[in-house]
Structure 1
């Protein structure tokens, strides 16, 4: 992982971290941030946009395929996810979820996530889509290693929105009950509700 200098950028309790720090011999630690569009940044990047996010697919695929819940005992409160790369520890915090689905692959019923194209995918499960009643954001199951739930990027959620159906007499501000896809009408299970504290 490339470190853009050694910059002090975060305080956890009484300790601080520096990008590329070496808490043990031959160990390096880096700190990342994932936004709600599925773009990955060094955590201390001041301006976070498409220009400054990581775009190398090989790097992104490796990073997210090795991502898991952080149980290392280090920075768990503020960086709840960890991707190990040899002797590098890559800590991740995110705006919403550690997986952000960005595209539906038309050739297969899979969702692509976090810039990985066809190399980072998860089977599309229309019945498991969940629209959060407070935020209106849409979620979908994700790999269990990262908690089992991923965010659907807003642009993709907008593509899905005409396929949501509601109970008779309710408008699109209510909770959808069905999802019409590829000629089938799926009853939404709302199974992902358990991952959220809903008002």
Structure 2
């Protein structure tokens, strides 16, 4: 008896015969699976020749075999444009109601097709959240408006910059000096809540909002003459924007623990000390009332200053102390 293979099985009616080693036909050995009904495909069959032969008449043939009949999709087609392109048809208009505008009907159709997580972004009024401005907008003839943001490190950015770091901040010293010398409270009647300060340049309005204060002291500089008091530079402008250093007027806010120093009156009268500079001065503070209380004294260049605390009422409102700006000549 020869060895028979299942792939050599032939079906003749309801009788299964097998091709033997010598080519003769005969009944198969016992224990082999029963023959399949006529017209049924083998469960282990993976290759479908009608997909790859151009002459096949199957409706699921590949594109390489010629154009498909109308209305027949390719067997490997995965992209469905009707799921990505939103059109408003009669059904959407009926579902939205006769009083809904065409633009609102589009929103209804899009919301019905998007996943539930994305539908939350299409709430009425969600697109209008935020200040609602556009950089360089012109609300009147020959008027331009720009919007800026300053963080607690004294770095200035365009307000709509997505990634705010040292790479994307403004570094031109001349621009920074001009910008902050023109800074004043925003009383223009526009964006006063979102942008409490504005820097005017002719008919150009540069609105500013801040993480804490519009003036952030970034470094301490030596005095202009020998023996004169030191200077505090702010907002990255170097020696072009400075105020006299007043150690006795340093103040630590009991609310956030940040360090503040007197600033120009037009910028609010109080400026924030940059974190790196505050850490550098930390060993100079003394706490006579205990470490849990604000500092009482500050040691600086061999002298011991008693902190007055005059800035504490100004941190959360009140009148500002006048400090003269000393820009560098030239």
- Larger Cα-atom Rg: 2
Assess, with a 3 A threshold, how the Cα gap between structure 1 residues 151 and 9 changes in structure 2: closer, same or farther.
farther
Q: Which residue of 2 aligns with 1:49?
A: 165
Residue 20 of structure 1 deviates from its aligned partner by 0.1
Question: Which residue of structure 2 lines up, in the alignment, with residue 4 of structure 1?
Answer: none
Give the CA deviation at 1:87: 1.8
Structure in which a larger fraction of residues adopt strand: 1
Match of 1:103 in 2: 219
State the TM-score, normalized to the length of structure 2: 0.54
Unaligned stretches of 5+ residues in structure 2: 1-126, 225-229, 317-330
Deviations 1:82-139 (A, max 9, x none): 0001121000000000000000103451100001100010110000000112311000
TM-score, with length taken from structure 1:
0.89
1:68 is the counterpart of 2:184? yes
Q: What secondary structure is seen at the aligned counterpart in 1 of 2:149? A: strand
Give the C-alpha shift of residue 152 in structure 1.
0.0
Q: Does 1:116 align with 2:237?
A: yes
Q: 1:161 corresponds to which residue?
A: 282
- Structure 2 residue 302 is matched with structure 1 residue 187: no
User: How many residue pairs end up in the alignment?
Assistant: 186
Q: How far off is 1:10 after superposition?
A: 6.6
Tell whether the 8 Å contact from 2:270 to 2:315 is kept in structure 1 after alignment: no
Q: 2:295 aligns with which of 165, 176, 185?
A: 176
Greater helix proportion: 2
Q: 5+ unaligned residues in a row in structure 1: which ranges?
A: 1-7
Q: Pairwise CA RMSD of aligned residues?
A: 1.8
Structure of higher RCO (CA pairs closer than 8 Å, 6+ residues apart): 1
